[in-house]
Amino acid sequence: MRSASVSLRSATAALAALYAALAILVATGALNGIDQWAIDHLMGGVGRGDEPTRLESAVPLLHSDWSRLAIVTNLVTLPGQVVVSGLILLALRDVRWLLAWAAGTAIEVLSKHVIVRPPLYGSEGHIAALDSSFPSGHALRIVIVAAALAAVWPRGRPVLAAWAVAALVLLEVGGYHVPSDIAGGIVLAAFVLALLARGRGARALRARGLPAPTRRVRA
């Protein structure tokens, strides 16, 4: 149990460092080459040219066009929408999942206010909606929802994994997020889930009458 706690602590620190590194790479434009290639070859040169309003972000499917690809993308990724994902986790009646959702979403919102990447371009010019789209909130919440449902429905894990992969791919192919956004959402989800697992591990140790592991201080 103690070794598992130490491993989780190391994993949490590594994920935090990885997220910070991704944020720096995005802000400096170091990943623009990969993202621009994805726009040109996977999105067909088309991206969302307008940024959703707060109302459009809160109301499912409001900020949407209705091409065939958009319909499929919107429906498959709908459980990652902020309100829908919150309701799904609320239905599980486990406050810990809601805390992970809230922490991840708070970091996502803060990151989007702070991190601005150099411009990316589509067939109609500068795609302003991608300037501050790191990390993908949909990718973040898709991973959290899949993990939460997998915890209560173990037999459904293959289906949930397939859905999560399909949803993440559609975020890219459907023109909503570039690869660095999606990677950021996945890493951020892994970070908050690792924090959740650390909290559970500490509670398990206390329940057994054992102290939580602490760092050794060198003399």
Question: For 18-30, how does the pLDDT look when each residue is reduced to its tens digit (9 = 90+)?
Answer: 999 999 999 999 9
d(CA 30, CA 22) in angstroms, rounded, equals: 9
- pLDDT-derived band at 37 (thresholds 50, 70, 90) equals very high
What's the pTM value of the predicted model, to 2 decimals?
0.86
pLDDT tens sequence across 89-112: 999 999 999 999 999 999 999 999
In the chain, domain spans:
2-31+51-114+134-207
Residue 23 CA: distances (Å) to CA of 15, 29, 146:
12, 10, 24
Structure tokens that stand for 205 in this block: 């140790």
Q: What is the DSSP string of 40-57?
A: HHTSTT----SPPPHHHH
